[in-house]
Amino acid sequence: KLWKLSVNSLFRVHPSVSQALVENKPVVALESTIITHGMPYPHNLSTAKEVEGIVRAEGAIPATVGVIEGKVHVGLSSEELDHLARSKSSLKVSRRDLPYVISKALTGGTTVSATMIAAHQAGIPVFVTGGIGGVHRDGENSLDISADLTELGRTPIAVVSAGVKSILDIGRTLEFLETQGVCVATYGSSKHFPAFFSPESGFTSPYQVDNPDEAATLIASTLSLGLQSGVLLAVPIPEEHAAAGQQVEDAIQAALTEASAKGITGRDVTPFILQRVNELTKGKSLQANIALIHNNARVGSQIACALSKQMS
């Protein structure tokens, strides 16, 4: 009881979200590290608002998660979104950062792992993002493996993403997800596991679901089994935006070399690479990034709607 009380005092569920949950309406959780660290201002803010708009247009309620002055918000007001997008002092908040950030009443964007925790706490089974973290290249030596992967192994949430960026070791990421017991499926007709900017990573996806209903049934099965692990639904980038793929790939190679020359490590690696790749491609990677997030938001919302029908 005491524990419940303290949980409730740390979480702030936006009224639009709690009302939707009470009425069994579809809700889509969204992360905010993409806002604070994944994209430059003002593209971060416009994209966050567009994504919420797409979720609403598809008939679901958006719940963007972020930490504001030590409270974990599930669903942000437009002022709060604006604050996170503009603030230069926002932290990148993963599972391990949550206790510190809360204890010091700090503000930050939640990664996939921290967003999954908040979504699960609120009772939201579907979460849309751009890309998840993974096993970094040379991860077998550095042990730089994103907490997103272990979170997927321990929290029953379906994460809809465009797969894993080729800045990561995609083969080892898939192996690690298997070890963690994460059910991975590509969304659509392709057998390939997508690589964020590119619809094909060179790896085959363990499974494939064709439409929102099949995806929803997969999620419902995970929940019904009582598995405490998550589902990763990988949505390939739409073909018309995949053209810049090779150029982005070259930029990634250059950025990786720079990052190791500069001694950039740990949590700074992903934001550094994202920013450098955007500079090196003269904004093309950012445009592709925005396009695939829009697409994920559409697909994820359709899945959330199908799931809420199946569960009611």
Partner from Mn ion, ligand PSU, none contacting 165, C-beta within 5 to 8 A by type: ligand PSU
C-alpha–C-alpha distance, residues 62 and 16, integer Å = 9
C-alpha–C-alpha distance, residues 116 and 131, integer Å = 14
Residues known to be catalytic: 31, 165
Q: Which residues bind ligand PSU (CB under 6 A)?
A: 31, 33-34, 37-38, 111-112, 130-133, 146-148, 165, 267, 270, 274
Query: Is 97 among the residues that bind Mn ion (CB under 5 A)?
Result: no
Q: Which pair of tokens denotes residue 188?
A: 């659509």
Work out how close the CB of 260 gets to Mn ion at its nearest, in angstroms, rounded to a whole number: 14
Residue entry with tokens 């080729």: 166
Nearer CB in complex with ligand PSU: 217/275: 275
Work out how close the CB of 270 gets to ligand PSU at its nearest, in angstroms, rounded to a whole number: 4
By three-state DSSP, how is residue 4 classified?
helix
- Nearest Cα neighbor of 117 from 92, 147, 77 is 147
- What is the Cβ-side half-sphere exposure of residue 312, based on CA atoms within 13 angstroms? 12
The total of other beta-carbon atoms located within 10 Å of residue 288's CB is 25
Work out how close the CB of 168 gets to Mn ion at its nearest, in angstroms, rounded to a whole number: 10
Nearer CB in complex with ligand PSU: 112/182: 112
Question: Which residues partner with 64 through β-bridges?
Answer: 30
Cis peptide leading into 40, omega within 30 of 0?
no
Nearer CB in complex with ligand PSU: 31/305: 31
C-alpha–C-alpha distance, residues 32 and 81, integer Å = 9
Partner from Mn ion, ligand PSU, none contacting 198, C-beta within 5 to 8 A by type: none
Partner from ligand PSU, Mn ion, none contacting 205, C-beta within 5 to 8 A by type: none
Partner from ligand PSU, Mn ion, none contacting 33, C-beta within 5 to 8 A by type: ligand PSU
Angle between helices 112-122 and 147-154 (to 10 degrees): 20
Please identify which residue in 144, 148, 151, 169 interacts with Mn ion, judged by CB under 5 A. Answer: 144
Work out how close the CB of 172 gets to Mn ion at its nearest, in angstroms, rounded to a whole number: 13
